[in-house]
Structure 1
Amino acid sequence: MTTPEEKHRTDSANLLLFIALLMLTIFTIWIFKHKRMRFIHETGLAIVYGLIIGVIIKYSTVSGNAPQMGNVTCKQNTSVVPSYVYVNYNNSNYLFTRHKIYKYHIPVLLLFSVFSVMTFDPELFFNILLPPIIFHAGYSLKKRHFFRNIGSILTFAFIGTVLSALVVGSIMFGFVSWMMVYNTDPTFTFGFVDCLLFGAIVSATDPVTVLAVFKELKVDVNLDALLFGESVLNDAVAIVLVSSIQKYQSARSSVFDSGAFFSALGSFIGVFLGSFAIGALAAVITACMFKFTKICHYPVLETSIFFLMSWSSFLLAEAVGFTGIVSVLFCGVLQAHYTYNNLSTESKARTKELFELLNFLAENFIFGYMGVAMFTFSHHHFNAIFIFGAFVAVLVSRACNIYPLSFLLNLGRKRKISRNIQHMMMFAGLRGAIAFTLAIRNTCTTGKQMMFSTTLLIVFFTVWVLGGGTTQMLTWLNIKVGVDEDDVAAVEALDLDHQNTETQDSGPQPKYADSAWMFKNWYKFDKNYLKPILTHAGPPLSASLPSCCAPVANCLTSPRA
């Protein structure tokens, strides 16, 4: 048995090795940036180094030192499996804890770790590493271009993600049916709902590699906004979709009944809206806190509260049964829109840099761990038919997402989504940290292990091949680079003035004019009411509210307005 001191030293060595992995990745990134090499992104480098470390660990670890799995059959009168079990082993007493994630269907109460060394609890990724990544995506959002394309982004993120999951699930069901012909394990089951679950997992796109190249080359702002906006909201939709499917999946079979299907649909909508409400509430409370207090005179305290309130939105949503990722995403968007204006100059810089740093470290840690897990995860299950089907399904589902929806959107868009931009969006459907985290959270059956192993291969392929070929694809498709955002803003302003002039001189306008009217009114409402209430911005509320509300207006209006 390993003593607590030995375990402590082993854990310290493991963490030190991961820190060394991150440092090696960072130095290599610096070399690549200095030499202007773009054939592989930093996340791809982290995977490569992780694979190397995984190989070293796998083939250098003495088998006798690896954790051992023991099967012990116990009988109890209670039907509840105990969380802790005291065991007398060779006249020595030991305390074993039940592992809540990796629980196998065997008569075992003493559940040992199924990983070897260099492993972490999957909840670490979901509760610690993902929130700063998602929050940073919302906090660094380029609002102007995002909201100009909000209709298209929502279409790709919501309809496109659900459509992708259904297409992947349907295609995989056909391949799984073929696979079952050669199956020799009578206990192995993989139904249509399992296929849908896998479809939801791999529908979470993460084009971090492509977006990094876009930023460096200053690609067309509309393409950048469409792809970034889709990826941000797509992650949230995929997570809620996975949660809904898992929640209403039968415990004894892999089928949904009709009642469960509509319950899952209602759960999907309810969880998403509830999570959004919690994120918005956290942002509003933070904005008001900084507006009506003098904490801005203490930037360290100000930054600390901002950080803790933002993280609390994730924890609160998880605590009440919603999805923290959705909550922290919209919290980040609203913190950037409202709270940021109330921060001191020092805190504005600190919060941006803090979450950029956390995002960088968390993202590279996850991708590095993916490489390590390829060799240290002890329950991989690879099936050639399933893997081939997964790659086909991912490709077809991305095409079914981008091309039909772009055609429908172009019917009402003033600025059409060109064919080359559609090809680039199709190419940029990389999988990454979100898909990995969703897959590793549950590996309790052979089918779930097969999903996890296949997801790893999909992530590796898309990051290395698609991510590495981004620059060449931009050149081949003749997509505009070196675009100055200020010049784009000036052109858009002229177009808007021209459109307003035409609106005054003509009759009925096309559908996009109605859309512009809707967002124009929302902008006025936000400027005249929400921003004066939540920030120091003007105009004073007394100019917007009726005279009977003057006391309230004077109370809520900032002296700086």
Structure 2
Amino acid sequence: MVEFGRLSWVISAWMGQAMGSAIDVAVDERKRMAHQVDSLDLLLFVCLLILTIVTLWTFKRRRMPYLHESGLAVIYGLIVGLLLSFTGSPRSESSLFIDNAHSAELFKFTEMEGPPNQLLVSVLLPNVSQPKTYTYEFKSQVDSEDANDPIKQKATFNAEIFFYVLLPPIIFHAGYNMRKKHFFDNMGAIMAFALVGTTISTFVIGLVMYGVSRLIQEIPLKFLDVLYFGAIVSATDPVTILAIFQDLHVDPMLNGLVLGESLLNDAVAIVLCSAIEEYAKVSLNGGDLFEVDALLLTLFKFFTTVFGSIGLGAFIGCLTAIVTKFTQLRDYTLLETSLFTLMSYSSYLFAEICGMSGIVAVLFCGIFQAHYTFTNLSDESKLRTRQFFETLNFLAENFIFSYLGVSMFTFSKHYFNLFFILGAFVAIAVARACNIYPLGMLMNLGRQQKIPMQYQHMMWFSGLRGAMAFALAVSNTATPVRQMFFTTTCLIAIITIPTGESSEEREELISDYEQPMASLPSHTNRSYLARRWKGLDQLYLKPLLTHGQPTLMETLPKELTFLGRWFTSDMQLQTQSREALGPRNGDEMMGTSAKDQDDPPLLGVADQD
């Protein structure tokens, strides 16, 4: 009996090990197939980008400016998505359907909580006495016919990839590569269009769509829902218009207004989305009725988020400038470039950790990096950072547009409503007009250099929807309401981008504003805010953060000269001595001055003023 017991124990142990080994083999095989599907999806998008680049090169070589690369990426994405919707995957994934009706207590949750983030499922395996617990994470709602198709499931990327991987380099490049002179000369108008105008656009779209929602019976829409949709589609992306501006050399004021307004517009739209969500969270009735206390708290949160994010991004930019000014990192260009990249990306992460807007922070970090840190970098690092972020921006932006086209056919929960879609097109046109024309008229009352009505027409015309609106819409598609928002946003972007780029009338309209580059606005035409910023920048910020002249020892009061010496670099002192000796002797001693490094003519990243 003892021998038989031992034999039984050995057989049971062996069977348990065999079962464990079989499970390991099955899990390894499943991960291998998942890795293969992920590789296939990434290869698909890489091929789309390659095809877009080759087609764009063909158009440029043959001088056929029919489409911008974003339009090509959308069109190719639509074609591939259509093919995927018909072909799918020959392999299916295993799934276990748990009926909520038979386990109501287990899966009960409130409307505010939403579905659980994780499911802990206890599974009893064959020949195993104790059940094993496995974790399953929440992803999204799916159709039953698409639940087992790995291609369609994997083609729907996690929204965190957009916000942490794709959007930061796009926004940072926009700030880092911006023509700062045009931005600061029109700072007041840009802030008004971006901050006040985007808010007006959000509420106008919300009011129009709330009226349209009365015609939609199958989905009940609250005012906060349509207001959130208004914030999503208020984010504009005039990348194609700006490309035409660059080719035709339009008036710099028009270029600065369109570019600056679009940059801050995206940031404000994100903060507005967060503010609307905050109002729904603090409201006692879920946002169904107006509450003054909740509104005041939301407004406070909105302004603290906007200006806190601006301050944080500016602080990171200034901190990077100080580090590069008072260290010898320029002697190690790889370390210098790496530190610059990591400090810039950290502004996004710090803002998100602090509950602020990472997009706003990284945008202003890019602006301050270009204005101050860029002048402290070595020539090699200047070229590296410019090319690196330009390449990242190109690939990330076209990846988003490719995915936009693919998702129209692979996303399993599109919700098409004709009334809502048509109403959205009307609403964004009306809201854009309510944004541009009244604000333009009010600002012309106090501007020395007026914004012509033709320029206002062009600003209204350039309000395309693109990457930012799509990213905001794809961040949450768990309910039919958000699925309808996502579908409508995709259609708006897909229709406006390619048709807007191929319009000959648009190019003729823009060409009416073609001006020689010599028509830059003079210093006397700057706004009051720009003039105040200019004085602060020249007297204190540039001497503190760069190697430029004059130094803080010259600009600070005599009582604080000792403090100015602490923040004056050796390069500034050497440049000061060289200028005191005269240009010829100074050139023999020092070579190129620090001031010459502020505006490298070949790089064009920062047009120092």
Residue pair 1:98, 1:111 contacting (<8 A) in 2 also: no
Residue pair 1:421, 1:479 contacting (<8 A) in 2 also: no
Provide Cα deviations, 1:80-117, integer angstroms capped at 9, x if missing partner. Answer: 94635243166495733222x6369xxxxx99999524
2:508 counterpart of 1:475: yes
Residue pair 2:317, 2:368 contacting (<8 A) in 1 also: yes
Residue pair 2:232, 2:469 contacting (<8 A) in 1 also: yes
Measured after TM superposition, the shift of residue 461 of structure 1 is: 1.3
- 1-side partners of 2:386 and 2:330: how far apart? 16
2:494 counterpart of 1:460: yes
- 2-side partners of 1:472 and 1:435: how far apart? 25
Measured after TM superposition, the shift of residue 550 of structure 1 is: 2.6
- 1-side partners of 2:307 and 2:510: how far apart? 39
Q: Counterpart of 1:150?
A: 187
Q: Counterpart of 2:237?
A: 206
Q: Counterpart of 2:162?
A: 125
Partner of residue 16 from structure 1, selected from 37, 43, 47: 43
Measured after TM superposition, the shift of residue 405 of structure 1 is: 1.3
Residue pair 2:73, 2:401 contacting (<8 A) in 1 also: yes
Provide Cα deviations, 1:317-348, integer angstroms capped at 9, x if missing partner. Answer: 00111110000000000001111111000001
Any idea what SS the aligned residue of 2:214 has? Answer: helix
Uncovered stretches (5+) of structure 1, i.e. residues with no partner: 105-109, 500-511
Measured after TM superposition, the shift of residue 258 of structure 1 is: 2.4
Q: Counterpart of 2:172?
A: 135
Provide Cα deviations, 1:162-185, integer angstroms capped at 9, x if missing partner. Answer: 0000000000000001222xx3xx
Matched letter for residue 118 of structure 2: S
Measured after TM superposition, the shift of residue 32 of structure 1 is: 1.3
- 2-side partners of 1:20 and 1:363: how far apart? 15
Provide Cα deviations, 1:23-60, integer angstroms capped at 9, x if missing partner. Answer: 11111111111122222211010011111111111111
- 59-68 or 369-378, which deviates more: 59-68
Q: Counterpart of 2:271?
A: 240
Q: 1:82 to 1:522 in 2, by over 3 A?
A: closer
- 1-side partners of 2:30 and 2:164: how far apart? 29
Runs of 4+ in structure 1 deviating by more than 6 angstroms, as ranges, are 77-80, 110-114
Q: 1:69 to 1:200 in 2, by over 3 A?
A: farther
Any idea what SS the aligned residue of 1:70 has? Answer: coil
2:136 counterpart of 1:97: yes
Partner of residue 35 from structure 1, selected from 49, 52, 62: 62
Partner of residue 122 from structure 2, selected from 70, 87, 96: 87
Q: 1:520 to 1:527 in 2, by over 3 A?
A: same
Residue pair 2:476, 2:482 contacting (<8 A) in 1 also: yes
Q: Counterpart of 1:504?
A: none
Q: 1:54 to 1:416 in 2, by over 3 A?
A: same
- 1-side partners of 2:351 and 2:154: how far apart? 32
2:326 counterpart of 1:292: yes
Measured after TM superposition, the shift of residue 18 of structure 1 is: 1.0
Q: Counterpart of 2:449?
A: 415
- 2-side partners of 1:76 and 1:448: how far apart? 26
Residue pair 1:66, 1:117 contacting (<8 A) in 2 also: no
Provide Cα deviations, 1:403-427, integer angstroms capped at 9, x if missing partner. Answer: 1111112222222222222221111
Q: Counterpart of 2:212?
A: 175
Q: Counterpart of 2:607?
A: none
- 1-side partners of 2:249 and 2:201: how far apart? 29
Report 1:231-380 matches (<5 A). Answer: 231-250=262-281, 253-255=286-288, 256-380=290-414
- 1-side partners of 2:89 and 2:346: how far apart? 43
Partner of residue 531 from structure 2, selected from 520, 524, 546: 520
Q: 1:330 to 1:113 in 2, by over 3 A?
A: farther
Q: Counterpart of 1:70?
A: 97
Residue pair 2:500, 2:506 contacting (<8 A) in 1 also: no
Matched letter for residue 255 of structure 2: D
Residue pair 1:68, 1:112 contacting (<8 A) in 2 also: no
- 2-side partners of 1:144 and 1:202: how far apart? 29
Q: Counterpart of 1:509?
A: none
Q: Counterpart of 1:45?
A: 72
Residue pair 1:135, 1:328 contacting (<8 A) in 2 also: yes
- 1-side partners of 2:42 and 2:359: how far apart? 26
2:477 counterpart of 1:446: no
Residue pair 1:379, 1:449 contacting (<8 A) in 2 also: yes
Q: 1:67 to 1:202 in 2, by over 3 A?
A: farther
Matched letter for residue 216 of structure 2: M
Matched letter for residue 71 of structure 2: G
- 2-side partners of 1:112 and 1:324: how far apart? 35
Any idea what SS the aligned residue of 2:465 has? Answer: coil
Residue pair 2:204, 2:427 contacting (<8 A) in 1 also: yes
- 1-side partners of 2:466 and 2:188: how far apart? 25
Any idea what SS the aligned residue of 1:338 has? Answer: helix
Q: 1:377 to 1:418 in 2, by over 3 A?
A: same
Q: 1:213 to 1:89 in 2, by over 3 A?
A: farther
Q: Counterpart of 1:540?
A: 551
- Cα RMSD over matched residues? 2.5
Q: 1:211 to 1:82 in 2, by over 3 A?
A: closer
Provide Cα deviations, 1:61-84, integer angstroms capped at 9, x if missing partner. Answer: 147626757234454599894635
Any idea what SS the aligned residue of 2:570 has? Answer: coil
Any idea what SS the aligned residue of 2:55 has? Answer: helix
Partner of residue 250 from structure 2, selected from 202, 214, 219: 219
Residue pair 1:363, 1:433 contacting (<8 A) in 2 also: yes
Provide Cα deviations, 1:178-207, integer angstroms capped at 9, x if missing partner. Answer: 222xx3xxxx43111101000000000001
- 252-261 or 438-447, which deviates more: 252-261
Measured after TM superposition, the shift of residue 392 of structure 1 is: 0.7
2:563 counterpart of 1:530: no
Residue pair 2:251, 2:519 contacting (<8 A) in 1 also: no
Measured after TM superposition, the shift of residue 402 of structure 1 is: 1.3
Q: Counterpart of 1:7?
A: 34
Provide Cα deviations, 1:323-382, integer angstroms capped at 9, x if missing partner. Answer: 100000000000011111110000011111111100000000000000010011000000
Structure with higher Rg: it is 2
Q: Counterpart of 1:192?
A: 223
Measured after TM superposition, the shift of residue 149 of structure 1 is: 1.2
- 1-side partners of 2:82 and 2:294: how far apart? 44
